[in-house]
Chain A
Amino acid sequence: MSTLAVSKPTPGPARNTREIDTRPLLWPSVIVLFLWMIVPLAMTLYFSVIRYNLLNPTLTGFAGLENYGFLFEDPVLWDALWNTLVLVGSVLIITVVLGTLFAVLYNAEFHGRNVARLLVIAPFFVMPTVSALVWKNMLMHPVNGLFAWMQGLVGMAPTDWLTNYPMLSVIIIVSWQWTPFAFLILLTSIQSLDSEQQEAARIDGAGPVAMFWFIILPHLSRAISVVIMIETIFLLTIFAEIYVTTAGGPGTATTNLAWLIYSVGLLQFDVGYASAGGVIAVILANIVAIFLVRTVSRNLQQT
């Protein structure tokens, strides 16, 4: 210790007026976010290892991994995980493919480009409950919906979308909401494409397809990965769309992880069991989050 004190360097010129105490500026945000992150999460973890049912106060005590045991034995969990995977995977594929194609299409020159772009991004700004209800009632309704009328025009029997194809219907609705997000991000990215590079490729005889595969797609790859990661985080816990359309049904056909936790916790009031589900959701989201944070951190170092 004393040797350290001896070799202590004298304060250098780095100590200028710029060094102020930033703690009073920074800490309010850090503290509230820390509390927001740690308190409910600790409670979820704690609830997940005790017996806690709001309807049955006699049920108490430490449960160990009992809730997790019940959860993993419950076929509903596996349905919910599968449905979550199907929903997230399908929506990701649809939105990224359409978003990329739209980005290429709306980057080209044409009449009224700015207005057309506004129309395409509009669905992203519509609140989820409105989107889901417009699709459910006015488009997919088996009697009065537009789709039923269009099927009637070509002599087909109308489809009861939400009853017969519940997951497909939810996927369509959610994709409609999120394609504009992918489009907006990818359009921004495509606009930063070097036009000289494109010109050079064109002179070298690259057709539109080769141009797309070898110039545009590689340029978009990072933006696409960002879109995938951000969407995944939001799509893992899609809730409002299911709440107003299918309520997780029929049966468990559209029960995703978010709906399972909601229905066990706030409809059946089994806090312990629902919290175990919550922990699983947190773990899944964190796996995705690690990748996202890495990408962003790489970007932070570049600037």
Chain B
Amino acid sequence: MNDARKKLWTTVLAWVVALLVFFPILWMGLTAFKTETVAVSTPPALVFSPTTDNFREVFERSNYGRFVWNSIAVSFGSTILALVFAIPAAYAMAFFPTKRTSGTLLWMLSTKMMPPVGVLIPIYLLFRDAGLLDTVTGLILIYTLINLPIVVWMLYTYFKDVPGEIMEAGRVDGARPMQELFLLLIPLALPGIASTGLLSIILSWNEAFWSLNLTSSGGAPLTAFIASYSSPQGLFWAKLSAASLMAIAPILIIGWMSQKQLVSGLTFGAVK
């Protein structure tokens, strides 16, 4: 009886808190299906006849497709590039550790501590001189570098969990290191590689410091495009909401699916 009541109250409290925390996203989701007039109406409309016009207009008026494509290119491009660099490195450190391995890992982590604003000016000038400002290529380069330490770390922890006997057996059968990597380790650690890739995609998709500073239109991903709605002229809340909803939905779903792996990735394995 007492336990049942406690559970009831916990349920009520937990759901009230959860709905409050989630409310801004929910409200944005609802606003995306309102007309502009209903979106700014007072009192706020909870019941309204939904429209999908906003989504169509966002695509038609603002070249939205290109920003979506830029976001996809930037996050997938940088993730693939980071994996190409990180898989051999993590493989070497996990299976052929030397005295310097943990030092190397920590040093890689320390590069992540550099505040982006500390190197903003030189990167901006280098990009300007190299013609990389406002390009997808430029952002891919930056995102690869800022995510590489996390990707190496996560892969390292996953590779450490691959049973040594299997790799040993492969070696006895005469597998050379490269074969061992491609034929044994990558298939075995595929789930780990996939969740590492997902984290890297999430981080790149949502990155907003470099995208705001280095891109303006042609190479701008969604983070920078959405920021253009901050201008005070005119309130296009419904269109802003529609554009935002489409921008966050895929990442929200990926994030929900991979939350467990995110913890070890985001804390460099310090919390598991």
Contact = CB atoms under 8 A, between A and B. Distances in A.
Contacts of B202: 125
Interface in B138-196: 145, 148-149, 152, 160, 171, 177
Interface string B67-92: 00000000000000000011011011
Given A44-B121, A261-B120, A33 B227 contact: no
B51 interface: no
Given A25-B89, A281-B118, A125 B229 contact: no
Contacts of B106: 293, 296-297, 300
20 contacts: A22-B96, A26-B88, A28-B89, A29-B152, A33-B111, A36-B145, A40-B119, A41-B118, A113-B14, A125-B252, A125-B256, A130-B226, A133-B240, A144-B42, A146-B44, A176-B24, A243-B208, A261-B118, A266-B121, A271-B125
A236 interface: yes
Interface residues of B, number: 97
A293 B152 CA distance: 16
Contacts of B148: 29, 32-33
A289 B7 contact: no
A144 B259 contact: no
A299 B7 contact: no
Contact of A288 (B113, B126, B272): B113
B80 to A, nearest CB: 14
Interface in A268-303: 271, 274-275, 278-279, 281-282, 284-286, 288-289, 292-293, 295-297, 299-301, 303
A224 to B, nearest CB: 10
Contact of B24 (A40, A134, A184, A185): A134
Contacts of B222: 127
A188 to B, nearest CB: 4
Interface stretch (A7-15, A135-143, A194-202, A210-218): A135-143
A288 B22 CA distance: 31
B118 A278 contact: yes
B244 A130 contact: yes
A156 interface: no
B223 interface: yes
Contact of A185 (B109, B119, B252, B266): B266
A289 B110 contact: yes
A40 B212 contact: no
Nearest to B253: A125
Interface size class of A (residues with CB under 8 A): 35 or more
A274 B121 contact: yes
Given A17-B171, A278-B117, A282-B118, A133 B14 contact: no
Contacts of B247: 127, 130
A68 interface: no
Contacts of A116: 14-15, 18
Interface stretch (A55-63, A69-77, A89-97, A101-109): A101-109
B240 A137 contact: yes
B120 A266 contact: yes
Contacts of B43: 149
A262 B263 contact: no
Nearest to B19: A119
Given A26-B93, A293-B110, A127 B206 contact: yes
Q: Which of A20, A111, A293, A300 counts the most B-chain CB atoms under 10 A from its CB?
A: A300
Given A271-B125, A278-B118, A262 B14 contact: no
Given A119-B21, A133-B230, A278-B119, A125 B251 contact: yes
A206 interface: no
A85 interface: no
A137 B237 contact: yes
A133 to B, nearest CB: 6
B123 interface: yes
Nearest to A36: B145
Contacts of B252: 122, 125-126
A121 interface: yes
Contacts of A243: 208, 212, 227, 230
A2 B271 CA distance: 51
Given A122-B25, A135-B24, A243-B227, A266 B113 contact: no
Contacts of B227: 129, 133, 240, 243-244
A137 to B, nearest CB: 6
Given A43-B122, A105-B10, A299-B270, 20 more contacts: A22-B96, A28-B89, A30-B108, A33-B148, A33-B149, A40-B122, A43-B119, A125-B206, A125-B252, A131-B24, A136-B230, A138-B28, A181-B266, A188-B271, A233-B113, A240-B209, A282-B115, A292-B113, A293-B106, A296-B109
